[in-house]
Structure 1
Amino acid sequence: MRIKEIFKKAIEMGIEADFRGREGVMKVLERKRKKYEKLSKKEKEIFDLEALENPYLDSRIYNIAEDKEIKKVLAGIHIEVEELLVAKELGNIDLVISHHPIGKGLANLADVMELQCDILNYYGVPINIAEGLMKERIEEVARGVHALIHQKTVDAAKLLKINLMNVHTPADNLVAKFLKDLIEKEKPERLGDLLDLLLEIPEYKEAAKIGAGPKITVGSPENRCGKIALTEVTGGTEGSPKLYEKMAIAGIGTIVSMHQTEEHWKMAKESHINVIVAGHTPSDSLGMNLFLDELEKRGIEIVPCSGLIRISRVKK
């Protein structure tokens, strides 16, 4: 596989696992195309044309120094300049894949957050409420990432002549679907049961050994789960903390979260919603592993770094 084929595979896997379904994702792209057609010539000159084909603008190819068959990949959760230097030192790395967005992908992180509205609606929050509360949070995130130095790692990759890409929301979609399917199949009754279920997943079990595994942060093991929602696993970053009250009204009893800020934790507690924070590192690792397994099936060697807990599910 070449770099563009690998990236295309990631996007396709993300679409297949998306809460909105393929049709819903295609509607988002069609809406962007219609907006593009209405732009002036001057506006079109600076428009990001990838937005017309890629529904996950926090996932990108940043540098193709050499377009070749990829045999060995260095993959990590958070790739920065030091990981690129590791790749250079190893000497036989054909492609570096980050999970977290960098460059233009980081600059466009807020673009994917609309997905959260559909996830909230899936679990019973009226779409008008979800969109209303998410709008201000999306704007907040957009302002925050705008101030960052996005191109640092990308510039280093170009100088070092290293192939570089990232897979963010597609991988997060994969872990969200994996957990959703597992929870719906096993139907854990109490928080302790749900925690035990997560700890049966190798990535979470390994993370627990280093103090980064799943934790009950609101509620107790004896609390009944009620409706379990995966509202804080995919869709860019944390949504609005004001949503917890609306989630409680919608009948959500427990949230499985990837990570939470203190403000989000307080609002969830005030709304009497149980919370299990599954863990950032193992959740990101699970999503990336589900994607990386597809590369391994095609004979590509995976070298984990930067926090990636590599668990292969490829049958030997």
Structure 2
Amino acid sequence: MGLTTDEIMQVSLDLVGWDEVPADSTVYVDGEGIESALVGIDLESPEIRLADDLGYDLALAHHPTGTSARLDFPAVLDKQVEFMTAHGVPEDVAEDAVADLRSRMDHGGHSSNYRHDPSVAELLDQPYLNTHLAPDEYGRRVFREVADAQPDDATAGDFVDALGEIPELRDAETDVRLRLGERDDDLGEVAVHHAAGTNGGASVARAYFEHGVDTVLYIHVGAGDTAELREEFADTGKTLVVTGHVASDAIGMNAVVDALEERGVECDTISGCGIGRDD
């Protein structure tokens, strides 16, 4: 019989025990009887057309491309504050740390062509959805398990090596990078800052570092943020571990693919999804 697009969205939410669809995840074009899907980290207009040409019942993306998932995206940034306060950062400091990011995301969504990719899917009558926060939360929990498994005397280098054993990170063309600090620095308290919409940049990492966190994990970070943090925290023992964007996103999306295939949906992966699935 196949699944509906709403049921497929729920499959992704079930991975982390959620009931509500996050603001950064949307069904753009409804579908039912779905038995095949083209799945990727980024599926935009060319890939939507590819899915239609090749006869897939669904184009399933990770990153949001339009409509409410882009316009409402700043709402998911509440997770940034939630994660920081869980590590002892005062709420007002956490809010200040994420204020500029909220503004940039709001301005970016407002100025974007949020109708571009969904309108192509509508014209083709190609079922199309994206699921972002739930797969990222799945990946965050994987990273958290690795962090929690480290012994009390672990170093940042030990953590980098342990993360590199995750199949998606192991098989990626990128590697896990230590953007701030040295391998022999004490690992200490680790904040896994993933599944909060995007990375928090220098301001969020600074808030963690100034309130007792020793190591921050991001999946990506800008060069300017790295330079800023190195200038402020060089030789302090603070470390910033960056796991790699696409490989890290693949952890959650691969879990979505596995869950869909268990439900009888045949999935083909492109655009970064599928890394490390040979295991």
Whether TM exceeds 0.5 here: the answer is yes
Counterparts of residues 24-43 of structure 1 (less than 5 Å): none
Q: Which residue of 1 aligns with 2:202?
A: 241
* 1:58 partnered with 2:24: yes
Identical amino acids, percent of aligned pairs: 26
In structure 1, C-alpha distance between the alignment counterparts of 2:146 and 2:156, rounded to whole Å: 15
User: For residues 227 and 261 of structure 2, what CA distance do their matches in structure 1 show?
Assistant: 42
Shifted more, 173-182 versus 6-15: the winner is 6-15
- Report SS of the residue matched to 2:202: coil
Check 1:228–1:58 CA distance in 2 against 1; reply closer, same or farther (3 A cut): same
Give the deviation of 1:252 after TM superposition.
0.9
Structure with more helix by fraction: 1
Q: Moved runs in structure 1, 4+ residues, more than 6 A?
A: none
Q: Aligned match of 1:263 in 194, 217, 224? A: 224
Once the two structures are superposed, residues 91-122 of structure 1 have per-residue CA deviations (whole angstroms, 9 ceiling, x without a partner) of 2x111111000112122221100111000111
Once residues 50 and 92 of structure 2 are traced to their aligned partners in structure 1, the CA distance between those partners, rounded to angstroms, is: 47
Go from structure 1 to structure 2 and tell me whether the alpha carbon gap of 1:310 and 1:262 turns closer, same or farther (over 3 Å shift). closer
**Partner in structure 2 of residue 222 of structure 1:** 184
- Greater relative contact order: 1 or 2 (C-alpha under 8 angstroms, separation 6 or more)? 2
Within the alignment, does 1:289 sit opposite 2:250 as a pair?
no
> In structure 2, what residue type is equivalent to 1:228?
V
In structure 2, the residue matched to 1:34 is none
Mapping of 1:103-122 within 5 angstroms?
Answer: 103-104=66-67, 105-122=69-86
Q: String of CA shifts for 1:40-91, please: whole Å, max 9, x gaps.
A: xxxxxxxxxxxxx53x111000002xx3222111110111111112212322
Give 1:10's aligned amino acid. S
Give the C-alpha shift of residue 268 in structure 1: 2.7
Q: Which amino acid aligns with 2:13?
A: I
Structure-to-structure mapping, 1:305-316, within 5 angstroms: 305-312=270-277
What is residue 83 of structure 1 aligned with on the other side? 47
Deviation string 1:227-259 (CA, Å, 9 cap, x unpaired) is 11112x211123252233321122111111110
Instruction: State how far apart, in whole Å, the 1-side matches of 2:57 and 2:175 are.
Output: 32
- Name structure 2 gaps, 5 residues minimum: none
Residue 219 of structure 1 deviates from its aligned partner by 1.6
Spell out, residue by residue over 1:177-211, the C-alpha distance to the aligned partner (whole angstroms, 9 max, x if none).
1110222023471122111111111100111xx2x
- 2:45 matched to 1:6? no
How far did 1:15 drift?
4.9
Counterpart-to-counterpart distance in 2, 1:284 and 1:97: 14
CA RMSD of aligned residues (A): 2.0
What letter matches 2:8 in structure 1? I
Q: Distance in 2 between matches of 1:249 and 1:69?
A: 52
Secondary structure of the residue aligned to 1:82 is helix
Separation of aligned partners in 2, 1:312 and 1:306: 14
Distance 1:313 1:113, change over 3 A: farther
- 2:205 and 2:198 mapped to 1: Cα distance? 16
CA contact (8 A) 2:192 2:216 kept: yes
1:33 match? none
- Post-superposition Cα deviations, 1:152-183, rounded to whole Å, max 9, x if no partner, equal 11111111111000011111111011110222
Query: Is residue 83–residue 306 contact of structure 1 (8 Å, CA) maintained in 2?
Result: no
- DSSP-derived class of the 2:141 partner: helix
TM-score for both structures, normalised by structure 1: 0.80
Q: Which residue of 2 aligns with 1:135?
A: 99
Of 34, 39, 55, the residue aligned with 1:70 is 34
1:279 to 2:244 alignment: yes
Given the superposition, is the C-alpha separation of residues 59 and 312 from structure 1 closer, same or farther in structure 2, using an over 3 Å criterion?
same
What secondary structure is seen at the aligned counterpart in 1 of 2:269? strand
Give the distance between the partners of 1:151 and 1:195, measured in 2 at CA: 40
Match of 2:213 among 252, 255, 268: 252
Normalising by structure 2, we get a TM-score of 0.90
Q: Secondary structure at the match of 1:308?
A: coil
